[in-house]
Structure 1
């Protein structure tokens, strides 16, 4: 079953990445402040950004879902990413927003779209999320949506807190 894009919330639209999104998303991925808690903790080069976008496009083609572009519905501007990456049991949810969009509830709004799709149309059994322990704001986004802390893991060469949410607990919380 194909996902109908864009995914819409009150203020955001999510759609699959395209090759022509590289320049716009690099303004986010190339920002050291944005990237200090993401992946390896450093900004990406333009080539790394292009490679990431190509990976997102391939993932979308293979699984029918991926990490998607987040657009500000009011302006149409690319403000970050949010989406799902296939895992052995379910998917990993993640999000990255430009600093101008922090503290406005937009990460929660984008992540909610991903969670609703994952447990609705995609019928995934569970979601995980990895958060840099020095990023309490990101952990707060996940807790608002019902994710529970599930320990620590090594990711991208550094420690991360792991959060989990099951389809069953989501259904109970939203019933």
Structure 2
């Protein structure tokens, strides 16, 4: 089996991948994550997942490289990482009572053969109606400034959801394990 490399510095993705019980290493790819003009969210996350994996191919020959990227979509607006309290507050108040779609791009690149599998796993959350005081309490407690749409679903962010729907709840955290297992099996990886 080729060694696994997670092309990410995300602690959330690392924790998810560890659940599969497979040995892996992590390395952070250095890519431009900017959205191209008029690029649809689906195309964006698939492109970035693939580019993250490709960015490490030369330095890690003979590896299965896993790349992933996620955006939250509210209506027609792509919600990226807020980076600041004010941006996060604005994102969450705009999402109050609404439906938010999370699109998680996933790529598995065999750097030995050049074969690359790419997919996107959608997940939808229906938000509770949120008032400014609740949003501020959540932001002060969680500080989700590195999370798409300001949602930290593995923590208190789940309290902001009324309901969820989708094929793989792990995609909400940023690494869709069910689809990843399919991709790894296609590469001959023996899952415990």
Structure (1 or 2) with the larger CA radius of gyration: 2
Q: Pick the structure with more strand per residue.
A: 1
Query: Given the two structures, how large is their TM-score scaled by the length of structure 2?
Result: 0.28
TM-score of the aligned structures, taking structure 1 as reference length = 0.29
